[in-house]
Chain A
Amino acid sequence: MSASEKTSPAPVLVTARDVHKAYGDHEVLKGIDMDVRVGETVVILGPSGSGKSTFLRCINHLEAMQKGSILVGEEQVGYVWRNGTLYRATPSQIARQRRGIGMVFQQFNLYPHMTVLQNIVEAPVGVYGEKRGEAEAYAHMLLRRVGLSEKANAYPRQLSGGQQQRVAIARALAIRPRLMLFDEPTSALDPELVGEVLATMRDLAQSGLTMIVVTHEISFAREAADRVIFMDGGRIVEEGPPGQVLVNPSHPRTRAFLNRVI
């Protein structure tokens, strides 16, 4: 990042404008605006129920929003813009649009009936048509990167929670994403296993991958984030570099939240 700051800023990858979402009468998102630049690591903090996970899931259209727009590069997942009209995308179009967006879930969601290696190559080979040999070689490389090269033939249930989540990260990286979404990746882990997952994520952030991370881990935000966004009640309350938002928050709700978690 430091190099790009000296020259011109990196191009914007994710553009969210006025995103609204409600479940029935309950408004979860009340107008979110956000820009994420290529190579940036953005950490979204906020109390539970603040809408941060919902916003993340709107980006790849796992949740449909009711108003506003989110663009990832030139794609608007879930919609097709043609000749000045916005059409709802068909399921197969949506599947194609999700290419390039990797996602890591709170509950890992590994496929329990497949080995670690099969989990990782399933999408590259089955969905994106990569050659099996190449996909497997890349999968082994990713497993080395997350420190699990000897677990390629294990089944998910034979691994600890931290190991499963690192496999899930490798699985998401295997589709060679330009954007990674992390939905509370350490919330389901025992405290002593959180560190290994955060370390893996820090490495990724340093490698220049664009990441949006929803988490409760203030330490990760402090060490790895380029920018911290604090959400509450379906709105962005405050945002800025971690040194500012986490050390010197300007909004009383941010201060109250940080006092509670630290």
Chain B
Amino acid sequence: MAAINPSGSAMVADPSAGRDVALAVSPANHLRRGLTAIVLLLALHMAWLIVANEAFQWHVVFNWLFDPSVMQGLMVTLGLTVVAMVLGTVIGLVLAICRLSGSRIASGFAGLYIWFFRGTPMLVQLIFWYNLATLFPEISITIPFGPTLIGWDTNMLITPLTAAIVGLALNEAAYMAEIIRAGLISVDPGQSEAAQAFGMTRQRALRRIIIPQAMRSIIPPTGNQLISMIKGTSLVSVIAMNDLLYSVQAIYNRTFEIIPLLMVAVVWYLFVTSILNVGQSYIEAYYARGDRRGEVRPATVPDAEPA
């Protein structure tokens, strides 16, 4: 190295000798190690306090964990979550498209809907739906201000189940509408321009070009919503819907083992949300395809089907 020193003096030491960054080592960070140890210790202690605490009555928790009525409640919670979330997302998508449409009426209506359902407590909405019969004893399809075509008795239609589904789905739709709208406007406007120039209708452009790209920013907050929905379904216990929380309540009302039975519910809620977290990361990886930053090797897009 010294031989090709540009100054010509062959004996000058090479200043870069031994300074290859590939040989660099990290300095010992004592503060960081100390803090890590303290945090681990605190966490361990906390876990010990919970596991060793007689008051939690872990044996009772295990006794009830797989009880048929708890299992049934879990199924109701999962079923409600799925149905309400799917309905909420579909209605939310329609609302988002309405909000972004050029039509004043459509976007005004969607705005009003979102304003109302986001602005009132979920619990109150559920109770209202459950007691709909006191407001409208009969639900019917009529020509506005004209004759009735077909009608039903509200009390027949509104059971705890339908009230829970309607309440949860309509409330969810308001939040999903805003999430989807944010996703749609995050896509480069050049994309819908290209889609238009290539003869795509607005629907097709949304389905094939815009929504797949919007998904990247729609998925993370939707995961959030899904998890709050799972817990939110516990509100339906107030309208006598036998979900997970309602079924453990039913048990501790008889046995008075309140804390351990609530722990049963906690364990199941955590179990389900953990599975969802894993699912979410897979979905995110799928929609990150074509993006260099995510090193994920792409799953293939479903092929274009003929119109």
List the interface of chain A (C-beta within 8 A of B).
60, 62, 91-92, 95-96, 98-99, 101, 103, 105, 107, 109-115, 118, 121-123, 125-129, 132, 155-158, 171, 175
Q: Which residue of B lies closest to A96 (CB)?
A: B199
Q: With A95-B196, A103-B197 given, name 17 new contacts (CB 8 A).
A: A95-B200, A95-B201, A96-B199, A98-B197, A98-B199, A101-B197, A105-B197, A107-B188, A113-B212, A113-B287, A115-B290, A125-B303, A125-B304, A127-B199, A128-B199, A155-B290, A175-B199
- Chain B interface size, as a band, is 20 to 34
Bound CA span A118–B208, Å: 11
Beyond A113-B290, A132-B303, A155-B298, is A92–B201 a contact (Cβ under 8 Å)? yes
**Which residues of the other chain, A, contact B267 by a CB distance below 8 angstroms?**
none
**Which B positions have Cβ atoms within 8 angstroms of A?**
188, 190-191, 193-194, 196-202, 204, 208-209, 212-213, 287, 289-292, 298, 300-301, 303-307
Max chain A Cβ within 10 angstroms of own Cβ: one of B191, B291, B306 = B306
- Contact A98-B198, Cβ < 8 Å, known A62-B193, A109-B190, A109-B191: yes
Query: A126 and B202: CB pair below 8 A?
Result: no
| Contact of A156 with B290 in the complex, beta carbons under 8 Å | yes
With CB as the reference atom, state the residue of chain B lying closest to A111.
B209
A-B residue pairs in contact (CB < 8 Å), sample of 20: A91-B202, A95-B199, A98-B196, A101-B197, A103-B197, A103-B198, A105-B190, A107-B188, A107-B190, A109-B194, A111-B194, A111-B209, A112-B213, A118-B304, A122-B208, A126-B305, A129-B306, A132-B303, A158-B292, A171-B198
A127 touches B198 (CB 8 A): yes
A62 close to B290 (CB less than 8 A): no
Smallest Cβ distance from A84 to chain B, in angstroms? 28
Q: Write the chain A residue with the least CB distance to B195.
A: A111
Task: Provide the bound-state CA to CA distance between A35 and B144, in Å.
Answer: 55
